[in-house]
Structures are given as C-alpha cells and as structure tokens.
C-alpha cells in the first residue's frame, strides 16, 4: 500500500474508494431494488463529474490508490467513458476497477482496455435465461454474456458476482463454478444482504458462507483453499485443474471487517465509512458550500477518527433505522 494519510481510529489504513456514480439502473434485480416504485435522486442532487474528480484527486493525495466505479449501473450515466479516461490520468491512482451489470458494456470493452481499466466485476446470478429474467426482471442475459466474452477476449481480469438466494438461483451455483473450469474468471458467491430498497422482501439469510462452502465441497471434494489477496472480502478456493477461482463473500455475516481498507461515497455524495452505516457526512454539500481542500481533508480525517469497528457496530449506530435502502444507492 502507498503511504496513506488516512487511518481510522482502529489503526486501519484506508486506500480504497468505492464511488457510486449514479443511482439509476436499467435492471431491477430482486435482491437490490423493488420491481416498481423506485424513486431516483433528482439529477441536480447527483454529484457532477467535476465534483467527483476533485474528490478523487483529494483522496488520492491522502493515500487512496485504488478506485471502484459502481452504481446503480455506471454505464447508464451519460459520458461515463470520457470520465473514466479523465480519471485514468490521475497520478497516484494505481487501479481503477468497475462493477457493472454488463448489459450495455460489450462494445465498450476495447476502449476500457485502452484506458487501462484494471479489472471488471460483472454481476451474473444465473446462467439460465429464465432464471436470469426472474432475478433481474429484464430479458438481457445474452448481452451480459457478450460482455463476459469481450472482457476475456481483451484479457481484462474479470470476476463474476453472484448473490446466492434460496428459491432463486441455488441451481446455478455449480454451473457458475463450471464456468471457471476453462475460463480464467473469479466466480464469487455473495451472501444476500438486506439492501433491497425499503424492505421490498425480507431477507432471511438461508444460504450463508458456510452453507455455500459445504455445497461446493460436496460436489468438488478436492476444492482447495488458496491464499487470499490482502484486504480481500472473499475466502478463495480453487478446484485443481480449473482455469479460474472460486470466492465466497460473507457479506451479511461480516467476517472480514477487521482488515477493512475502504470507504464509500454514494451518488449524492454521502460518505459511508462502512457499508452498514447510515452515512457520516455529505461531501457534495461541503463542495457546493465552497469548502477548501484543507476543510475537506479535515472532514475525512475526523470521520475516520470515529469509525465503527465492524459492520455490526455500524448497524447499531443507525439507532434503529433499518438497513433497507437499495444497494443501487450505495454501490455494493
């Protein structure tokens, strides 16, 4: 990690920013949004590209060297490619990663490669067109597969994010693992979290990380643990002979908080020092009120000086406000 000026009150250095660039999305994934009635943030309330760039430059100067662009669906925001190109010029920013549903991305992949995007996480919860439709409520499975092929063709490192849900895609776990037999992809199974847009459906965590692992072990007895990269949220495995790897993310069980190196900024500029907190302060408001760089730096340092130890403490601090906002307003 580069010399970070950003430390939290638990001694953890922060070098990773996850920025949600929009709350808009062209899918309606069951676990993320209700089918209807989503109220988007007013356009003027979204941070502008200029505001986001200033913020990123400031945070890079404070030690952030890794950025994830997420949303909502990042590629539904107009002029996303020129923005990415602009960000790729920022000195000190070593990695720009993107999380996308891949529905409009296939023909952009060569340009993403040219810009130097380091890796892409592609959301794909099912390899069955019908089940994909039932989960995302849109019939665009082929588009996502085209994006996967394009990423592999361009040799952009790709991870597939699959949220594991009882009665939705348990049948897909093994076919998704099989994708990694010949393709160099990281398949990541994620515990479902309750961020689905105002309690659209209750989340009972029926498939936790242990159950996912037991399921994998039952079919792949030779599944072996491999070392996890530093600050990884996934526990990583490999089936001998497979080109790709398998990861399990205990997103609801929150087993990885101890090494958390990330902060999040929502499309309206709310800083979250934990996925489970209710937001600490609004960066956009500071920017629009004419804050100097020094004032912005102080605001970040003071927020990190009072960071929750883990996702459970962060959730407690919400003072009874339930975790029910849509993940499209946070970025995952």
> What does the per-residue mask of binding to ligand SF4 show for 42-81, with x meaning CB under 6 A?
-----------------------------xxx--------
Interface with ligand SF4, residue 123, by CB under 6 A: yes
Nearest-angstrom CA–CA distance, 42 and 44: 5
CA-based torsion, 104, 60, 7, 95: positive or negative: positive
Segment contacting ligand SAM (CB under 6 A): 1-9, 40-48, 65-73, 281-289?
65-73
Kindly state the number of chain residues that form the binding site for ligand SF4, as judged by CB under 6 A.
Answer: 13
Nearest-angstrom CA–CA distance, 299 and 305: 10
Residue 192 binds which entry of ligand SF4, ligand SAM, none, CB below 5-8 Å type-dependent: ligand SAM
Interface with ligand SAM, residue 144, by CB under 6 A: no
Interface with ligand SAM, residue 329, by CB under 6 A: no
Burial 195-232 (b: 16+ CB within 10 A, else e): bbbeebeebebebbbebbbebbeeebeebeeeeeeebe
Nearest-angstrom CA–CA distance, 249 and 28: 22
- Binding ligand SAM (rule: CB under 6 A), the pick from 22, 97, 99, 273 is 99
Interface with ligand SF4, residue 29, by CB under 6 A: yes
Helix (H, G, I), strand (E, B) or coil at 95: strand
Q: Is residue 67 a contact partner of residue 93, using CB atoms and an 8 Å limit?
A: yes
Residue 70 binds which entry of ligand SAM, ligand SF4, none, CB below 5-8 Å type-dependent: ligand SAM
Assign residue 11 a region (left: φ > 0; alpha: ψ between -120 and 50; beta: otherwise): left
> In this complex, which beta carbon is closest to ligand SF4, that of residue 32 or of residue 106?
32
Strands (E), 234-318: 234-238, 245-249, 262-265, 270-272, 281-282
Residue 196 binds which entry of ligand SF4, ligand SAM, none, CB below 5-8 Å type-dependent: ligand SAM
Phi, psi (deg, nearest 5) at residue 287 = -60, -45
> In this complex, which beta carbon is closest to ligand SAM, that of residue 195 or of residue 256?
195
The kind and range of the H/E element at 135 are helix 129-136
Q: Is residue 99 a contact partner of residue 49, using CB atoms and an 8 Å limit?
A: no
* Min dist. Cβ of residue 44 to ligand SF4 (A): 21
Question: Which has the closest alpha carbon to 326: 6, 37, 53?
Answer: 37
Segment contacting ligand SF4 (CB under 6 A): 3-11, 29-37, 164-172, 182-190?
29-37
Q: Is residue 177 a contact partner of residue 134, using CB atoms and an 8 Å limit?
A: no
* Min dist. Cβ of residue 72 to ligand SAM (A): 6
Q: Could you say which residues in the range 198-257 bind ligand SAM, by CB under 6 A?
A: 251
Interface with ligand SAM, residue 311, by CB under 6 A: no
- Binding ligand SAM (rule: CB under 6 A), the pick from 71, 186, 244, 311 is 71
> In this complex, which beta carbon is closest to ligand SF4, that of residue 145 or of residue 299?
145
What residues line the site for ligand SAM (CB under 6 A)?
Answer: 25, 31-32, 70-71, 73, 99-101, 123, 161, 163, 190, 192-193, 195-196, 251, 327-328, 331-332
What residues line the site for ligand SF4 (CB under 6 A)?
Answer: 25, 27-29, 32-33, 71-73, 101, 123, 327-328
């Amino acid at each position: 990690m580069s010399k970070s000026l950003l430390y939290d009150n638990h001694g953890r250095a922060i070098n990773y920013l996850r920025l949600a660039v929009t709350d808009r999305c062209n899918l309606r994934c069951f676990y993320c949004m209700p089918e209807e009635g989503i109220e988007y943030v007013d356009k003027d309330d979204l941070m502008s590209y200029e505001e986001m760039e200033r913020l990123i430059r400031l945070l890079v100067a404070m030690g952030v060297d890794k950025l994830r662009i997420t949303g909502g669906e990042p590629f539904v925001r107009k002029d996303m490619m020129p923005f990415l190109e602009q960000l790729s010029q920022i000195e000190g920013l070593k990695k720009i990663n993107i999380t996308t549903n891949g529905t409009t991305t296939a023909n952009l992949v060569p340009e993403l490669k040219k810009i130097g995007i380091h890796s892409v996480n592609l959301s794909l919860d099912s390899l069955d067109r019908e089940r994909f439709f039932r989960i995302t409520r849109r019939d665009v499975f082929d588009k996502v597969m085209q994006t996967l092929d394009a990423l592999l063709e361009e040799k952009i490192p790709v991870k597939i994010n699959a949220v594991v849900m009882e009665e939705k895609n348990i049948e897909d776990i093994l076919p998704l693992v099989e994708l990694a037999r010949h393709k160099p992809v990281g398949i990541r199974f994620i515990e479902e979290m309750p961020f689905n847009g105002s309690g659209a459906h209750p989340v009972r965590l029926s498939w936790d990380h242990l159950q996912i692992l037991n399921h994998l072990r039952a079919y792949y007895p030779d599944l072996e643990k491999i070392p996890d990269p530093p600050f990884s949220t996934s526990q990583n495995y490999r089936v001998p002979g497979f080109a790709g790897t398998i990861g399990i993310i205990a997103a609801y069980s929150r087993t990885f908080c101890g090494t958390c190196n990330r902060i999040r900024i929502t499309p309206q500029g709310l800083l979250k020092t934990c996925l489970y907190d209710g937001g600490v302060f609004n960066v956009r408001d500071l920017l629009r009120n004419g804050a100097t760089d020094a004032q912005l730096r102080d605001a970040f340092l003071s927020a990190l000086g009072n960071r929750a130890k883990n996702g459970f403490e962060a959730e407690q601090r919400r003072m009874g406000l339930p975790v029910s906002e849509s993940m499209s307003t946070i970025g995952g």
